[in-house]
Amino acid sequence: MTIRLKLLLAASVIALGIAQPTSAVFAQTLKVALGDEPLSFDPIATSDNGSIWTQLLIFDTLIRPDKAGTGLEPGLAASWEVSPDGLTLTFTLRDAKFSDGTAVTPEDVVFSLKRAGVDEKSQWKRFFNPITAFKSEGNKVILTLEQPFTPAFNNLALFAAAILPEKLVTEQGDAFFEHPVGSGPFMLSGWTRGSKVELTKNPHYWQEGKPAVETVELDIVAEPTARVLRLEAGEADVILDPPLNQIADLSSKDGITVGSAIPYRSDFVLLNNTRPPFDNVDVRQALNYAVDKDQLVKGVLFDKGKVAATAMPVMAYADESLKPYPYDPAKAKELLAKAGLADGFSTKLLVDSGNAAHRNVAVALQAMLGQVGVKAEIQMIEGGTMWTTTKAGEYDMALSFATSDTVDPDQLIGFLAVNPERANAYHTQWQNTHLNDLYAKERATVNGPERGAMFKEMVEVFKEGAPMVFLYHPASNWANLNKVKGFEILPTSNFRLEDVTISE
């Protein structure tokens, strides 16, 4: 027996001994615990939050969303100019260096943007391919379009348009992204896949004196409650997305501060407009009146969110005075009666079983719809099959959400409300030709009040048509130890760390 035990011990010694990730401990390390694991650092071939957020700490873009999320501010480009016809975009680069000390040249920019817009490996082509010519001239980069396409400019702020060093990428190929080099505030110094990413301050960063912290450790902690425990044990300085019900408790604890921001996200119930009774606008509006959104935000989100007027997040060109459908069960019943459904009807509500918040929302929705005679049977499906199922139109109602990758509303309105387009009004098959026309016009109109008015009109039409039950905009929440100052989640859902300080 003792021999066997010794053998087992020896075997575990060997097994655990191999597990030696490289890391070094410095003073001034900021530890951030988050649930999303970065999978790859190649900007044109990723689409998951963990990868995107980490890439934005390592790489720079020409322009970037400002902290308020309403406009764009200079990134690697110190200034820019858009020709009056919107066909020529000229960027003047600032003096910046990659973390290996080499200068960021206009050629690097041209190389990177071509890679994002033309390279066959790019999953993000559609965001850049209206740009047809790339030119470098002195410290300027000139991009030309054949037809006016206003979103193209905004899309340059997208992570997929990150500027990479041409020489290293061509020399190393895919291996480059194992040890990426960028001009962002931090550089990658260690990566234990599935466990943590270690970042070190970029000594050549173009913003003088930043970042303030020497090193950053992004720890992957999948379970929300485990993240809270980590913060309380002092093993994490910042945690993202604590469980909603624990936030109030956390904020009352000594030495811990909580914060929240409303990102460009919206949650709603898709209605299959091809299936009766959802083909009737009265029924769709009735459902919007029947849901007590305030109660939902209070009871399920613990006040971490706000009621939504439509499925469009409040972003650039949004009409902030647009009112949500009020909670009015009497009006809902009236509309149902008008549609010949005075006794209500039975239906099914599709829910992603892996989404804890949506499971709770579904239970509450079921109760609320029951009040007006709509008997909704909850049907859980595994998240991976959700898209396929709604795309095939095999649903009545489906609890879903959408987020925007850019500050410009073009991406989302096209996806949510335009039909035919990418997803035919997010698989609801709802269609409004006036809105379709406005969408085509908006894309060819330069930024300004005229384009803004088009967006406002589209959102109003969208609200009237009610292809979905509009619910809420959930907040992104975080908690940090009091010694950490300046951490915040941006409306684009990511976080910047160059301004974060740790006091001792």
Partner 1 sequence: MKSFTSRYMRSYAGVAGLFMLLVVAAVVVLTPLLSPWDPFAIDFGATTLPPSRLHWFGTDNFGRDIFSRVAAGAVIDLRLALVCVFVPMTMGIAVGLVAGFYGGWVDTLLMRITDVVWAFPFYVLVLAIVGVLGPSEGNLYIAFFLVNWVGYARIVRGEVLLISRLEYIEAARLLRFGGPWIMARHILPNAVSPALVYAMSDAVLTVQAVAALSFFGLGVQPPAPEWGLLIVDSIDYMRQAPWMTLFPGLALAFSGVAFALVGEGLAQTLRPEGR
Partner 2 sequence: MFQGIVNRILMVIPVIFGVTILSFLLLQVMPGDPAEMAMGTRASPEEIEVIRVQWGLDQPLWQQYALFVRDCLTGSFGTSLFHKLPVSQLILERLPYTLGLTLYSTVIALIIALPFAIVAALSRGRAIDVAIRQVFVLMLALPPFWLSFVFIIFFALNLGLFPTGGVGNGFLENIHRLFLPALVVGLSTAALIQQSLRGTLIETMGADFIDTARAKGLTATQVFRRHILRNSLISTISVIGVRISWVIGGTVVVEKIFSVPGLGSLLIDAILTRDFPVIRGLTVFFALLVVMVNLVTDIAYAMADPRVRLR
**Residue 192 touches partner 2, criterion: CB under 8 A:** yes
Q: How far is the CB of 5 from partner 1 (least distance, A)?
A: 23
222 binds partner 1 (CB under 8 A): no
Cβ atoms 87, 145 nearer than 8 A: yes
| Long-range pairs for 243-251: beta carbons < 8 A, 24 or more residues apart | 244/300, 244/301, 244/302, 244/304, 244/357, 244/477, 245/302, 247/302, 247/304, 247/477, 247/479, 248/302, 250/479, 251/479
Question: Which of the choices partner 1, partner 2, none does residue 388 contact, using the CB cut-off of 5 to 8 A by kind?
Answer: partner 2
Residues whose CB falls within 8 Å of the CB of residue 14, separated by 6 or more in sequence, listed in order = none
Tell me which DSSP letter residue 178 carries: G
Stretch that binds partner 1, among 7-15, 242-250, 308-316, 458-466 (CB under 8 A): 242-250
Closest CA to 502 of 473, 478, 480: 480
Give the Cα separation of 15 and 152 in Å (integer): 51
Binding to partner 1 in span 349-378, by CB under 8 A: 352-356, 359-360, 362-364, 366-367, 378
- The string of DSSP letters for 59-86 reads ---SEEE-TTSSSEEESSEEEEEE-TTS
363 lies in the binding site for partner 2 (CB under 8 A): no
Contact pattern from residue 275 through residue 304 relative to partner 1, giving x for each residue in contact according to CB under 8 A and a dash for the rest: --------------------x---x-----
Residue 23 engages partner 1 in binding (rule: CB under 8 A):
no
Distance in angstroms (rounded) separating the CA atoms of residues 37 and 179:
17
Q: For the CB of residue 6, give the shortest distance to partner 2 in the complex, in Å.
A: 10
Residue 464: contacted member of partner 1, partner 2, none (CB under 5 to 8 Å, by partner type): none
In angstroms, rounded to a whole number, what is the distance separating the alpha carbons of residues 152 and 408? 10
Mask for 119-138, x = binds partner 2 (CB under 8 A): -xx-xxxx------------
**Which does residue 353 bind out of partner 2, partner 1, none, counting CB within 5 to 8 angstroms by kind?**
partner 1
- Nearest-approach distance from CB 303 to partner 1, in angstroms: 13
Query: Which residues are CB-neighbours of 159 under 8 A, at least 6 positions away?
Result: 43, 52, 55, 56, 59, 61, 405
295 binds, among partner 1, partner 2, none (CB under 5 to 8 A by kind): partner 1
Using CB under 8 A as the binding rule, whether residue 422 contacts partner 2 is answered as yes
- Select the binding partner of residue 119 from partner 1, partner 2, none (C-beta < 5 to 8 A, by kind): none
Distance from first CA to last CA of the chain, Å, rounded? 52
Q: Are 96 and 109 in contact (CB under 8 A)?
A: no
The one of partner 1, partner 2, none whose footprint includes residue 17, by CB under 5 to 8 A per kind, is partner 2
| Separation between Cα atoms, residue 495 and residue 31, nearest integer Å | 13
Of 212 and 229, which CB lies nearer to partner 2 in the complex structure? 229
Question: Looking at residue 489, what DSSP letter applies?
Answer: B
Give whole-number Cα distances, 348 to 45, 278, 337, 394, 396, in Å.
36, 12, 20, 11, 6
Minimum CB separation of residue 388 from partner 2 in Å reads: 6
H helix or E strand, kind and range, residue 452: helix 449-465
360 binds, among partner 1, partner 2, none (CB under 5 to 8 A by kind): partner 1
Instruction: From 391, 267, 286, 271, select the one nearest 337 (Cα to Cα).
Output: 286
Question: Reduced to 3 states, what is the DSSP secondary structure of residue 175?
Answer: helix
| Beta carbon nearer to partner 2, 333 or 427 | 427
Q: Which does 249 bind (CB under 5 to 8 A by kind): partner 2, partner 1, none?
A: partner 1
The binding track of 269-308 with respect to partner 2, each residue x by CB under 8 A or -, is: ----------------------------------------
Are 491 and 65 spatial neighbours (Cβ–Cβ below 8 Å)?
yes
Q: Indicate which single residue of 23, 79, 207, 245 sits in contact with partner 1 (rule: CB under 8 A).
A: 245
Q: Mark 386-405 with x for binding to partner 2 (rule: CB under 8 A) and - for no binding.
A: -xxx-x----------xx-x
Considering the rule CB under 8 A, would residue 396 count as an interface residue with partner 1? no
How many residues appear in the chain?
504
504 vs 501: CA distance, rounded Å: 10
Cβ neighbors of 115 (< 8 A, separation 6 or more) are 44, 122, 164, 169
Q: Of the two residues 207 and 225, which places its CB atom closer to partner 2 in the complex?
A: 225
Least CB distance to partner 1 at residue 298 (A): 8
Q: Does 415 bind partner 2 (CB under 8 A)?
A: yes
| Whole-number Å distance between alpha carbons of 440 and 421 | 11
Nearest to 194 by CA among 40, 365, 30, 387: 40
Nearest to partner 2 of 230, 333 (CB atom): 230
Question: Which residues here bind partner 1, judged by CB under 8 A?
Answer: 223-225, 243, 245-246, 249, 295, 299, 352-356, 359-360, 362-364, 366-367, 378-385
Question: Which residues here bind partner 2, judged by CB under 8 A?
Answer: 1, 4-5, 8-9, 11-13, 15-21, 23, 37, 39-40, 42, 45-48, 120-121, 123-126, 174, 177, 192-196, 219-223, 225-226, 229-230, 232-233, 235, 354, 382-385, 387-389, 391, 402-403, 405, 411, 415, 421-423
